[in-house]
Amino acid sequence: MKLKHLLILVFVVLSAIPLFVGLQYLNHYYGEHHRALFTEHLASLSLIAKQRILGVVDRIEDSTSLIASRTQMRISLDEWNTTRSDKQKKKLTKIINDAKYGLDHLKDIQIFDPNGELVASTPVQPPIQPLDLSVGNSSQLRLQLENEQLVLRKVSPLLLNHDLVGYLRLTFMANFVTDLVRDRTGLGETGEWLIAVRDSNGDALFAVPLKYDYRASFKRTVEQTRQEVPIVQALRGNELIMNNALDYMGEPVLASTRYLKELDWGLVAKINEEEVNRLISQNTSFIYTLASIILIVAIVVGIILSVYISSPIERLKFHVDKVSKGSFENFPSSKGWQEVKDLSSHLTNIVHTLKDLNENLQAKVDERTQELCQSNKQLEELSLKDPLTNLYNRRFFNERLSEEVQRAHRYSTPLACVMLDIDHFKSINDKWGHDVGDDVLVGLSNYLVETVRESDILARLGGEEFCILLPVCSESSALRFLERIKTDISNLEFVCENQMFHVTCSFGIAVLNEQLCNPGALLKAADQALYSAKHAGRNRVVSYSKDSEIS
């Protein structure tokens, strides 16, 4: 081990051991402290929610008492019980409609006779089912689901001179409950509110949609025997904090339970333990930052001390490294020990020798590199160009076709694709030989190179088949251009065995449009147009889009 590294290691170890011990203690302390803060925060949220609900309940009780205290309503109901008069029924309807006016949280009012039969109601089409007297005498608010809407029902007996004359049933909007459940402020990413009532079996019946089960309202239950579930503890009247408790999904959670005795409701505020632990870990980042700073200081001090002690050797090593990387500079005079000075002098002589050898070697390497670059350039051209005509090949053309199609779509410019084929080329090969056929291909290629624009892409796809890509060229311009080169090609003169002959070409053109919107479709359309040109007699230009001949 090097001296410098040994000194650094000593300083790191001496600082890391107490740092590790202190870090463990601080992590434990901060973990418990922050968990206590989360617990207190969750308990405060659940208490505030409980007080909010009870505040609304008090308001509902006040509204119920105010409406039930109307003497004229009770007198009219008593008279209706005796006479069954429509006049009294209309009077009762008017009274409850007047009572409902201005109470936005009140949905409807219904009056029943002592037998539970409906007498008057604020809705236009009142329900016809009688009042269930088994629960009708209970003055407790009941949370129910009516037409997929959460409502609170309050049944109050109506007494006149201490005699029962009927029942008053008020239905209140329970928006405050759904608003509470949806507002998860302070509950993090995974937290949610749970509200449950008891079903007929005494099990916990969720009364609101759940975050992870939106259809749970008045459908999903938790057996009362599962005391490890927070909502069961809430309905048992236990207001406590539960760590690593299992929620209705079986996930470990931190939960605060509340019991609303006035309503016999269970209320739970919960957050997943995974999120709590993650937040606690984030809160301990300060400790890790402080530990990192201490460790960095120890490393810096170790480095400074090691450099101070081993600086002569380090300077010599630095220059040796430069030599190993190809920098043949003379070693500077060392200010260290005598042994270091002698070693520096010997190394300077070695550097001079290496420098001479390197210069000779570098000259040979440069020469070989230049030859290799030239060979690579030739190989690249061979991979992209046809060796006979020196035109681009199919591979290069397909790449450029995709690029030009994308560019035409991006800038909304026209793009024409032309396929051309030498007519009766096989006959030329059969009659004059393949050498003459090659001369025809080269001559035609030279003419096309001189004729097309610099922005056009010209390629030989194979055999006697060529393709021209015309960017920013409308169909009409392309047709005029092709008519001109068709005529020029037919006038080209080729000579073999002192005999002059001419060739003609057939052209197929396709223009980028909504139907021909991709490279494959465009190329295929041009090929079909070329086939049509040959089928129509050759030596002509056919447009795929117009499906007509241009002579």
Give the confidence band of 397 by pLDDT, cuts at 50, 70, 90. Answer: very high
Taking CA atoms, 239 is separated from 18, 194, 505, in Å, by 43, 14, 94
* Contact criterion met (CB below 8 Å) for 205 and 197: yes
Taking CA atoms, 308 is separated from 172, 314, 315, 316, 319, in Å, by 83, 10, 11, 14, 18
* Contact criterion met (CB below 8 Å) for 160 and 74: yes
Sheet of 106-112, strand order = 118-121, 106-112, 163-173, 149-160, 142-146
Quickly count: other Cβ atoms within 10 Å of residue 350's Cβ. 13
Using only C-alpha atoms, the chain has a radius of gyration, in whole angstroms, of 47
411/174 Cα distance (integer angstroms): 57
Tokens of 418: 């032309």
The residue assigned the tokens 């605060």 is 256
Please check the confidence at residue 523 and state whether its pLDDT lies above 90.
yes
Give the confidence band of 546 by pLDDT, cuts at 50, 70, 90. Answer: low
Taking CA atoms, 544 is separated from 138, 267, 383, 403, 548, in Å, by 85, 73, 31, 22, 8
Tokens of 346: 């010997």
Quickly count: other Cβ atoms within 10 Å of residue 164's Cβ. 14
What is the pTM assigned to this prediction? 0.49
Residue-wise pLDDT tens digits, 74-93: 999 899 999 988 888 889 88
Percent residues over pLDDT 90 in the chain = 30
Q: Which domains does the chain have, with CATH numbers?
A: 70-176 (3.30.450.20), 328-384 (no CATH), 394-550 (3.30.70.270)
CA 222 to chain CA centroid, nearest Å: 35
Give the confidence band of 414 by pLDDT, cuts at 50, 70, 90. Answer: very high
The pairing of strands 265-272 and 415-422 is unpaired
Quickly count: other Cβ atoms within 10 Å of residue 431's Cβ. 12
Instruction: Give strand pairing partners of 419.
Output: 467, 508
Least confident of 152-156, 457-461, 477-481: 152-156
Taking CA atoms, 276 is separated from 20, 38, 428, in Å, by 24, 8, 85
Residue 172 amino acid letter = F
Give the confidence band of 149 by pLDDT, cuts at 50, 70, 90. Answer: confident
Counting beta carbons within 10 angstroms of the beta carbon of residue 543, is it exposed (0 to 12), middle (13 to 18) or buried (19 or more)? Answer: buried
Tokens of 265: 């409701």
Higher local confidence (pLDDT), 395 or 345: 395
Least confident of 97-101, 102-106, 255-259, 514-518: 102-106
Tokens of 70: 């109307």
Please check the confidence at residue 507 and state whether its pLDDT lies above 90.
yes
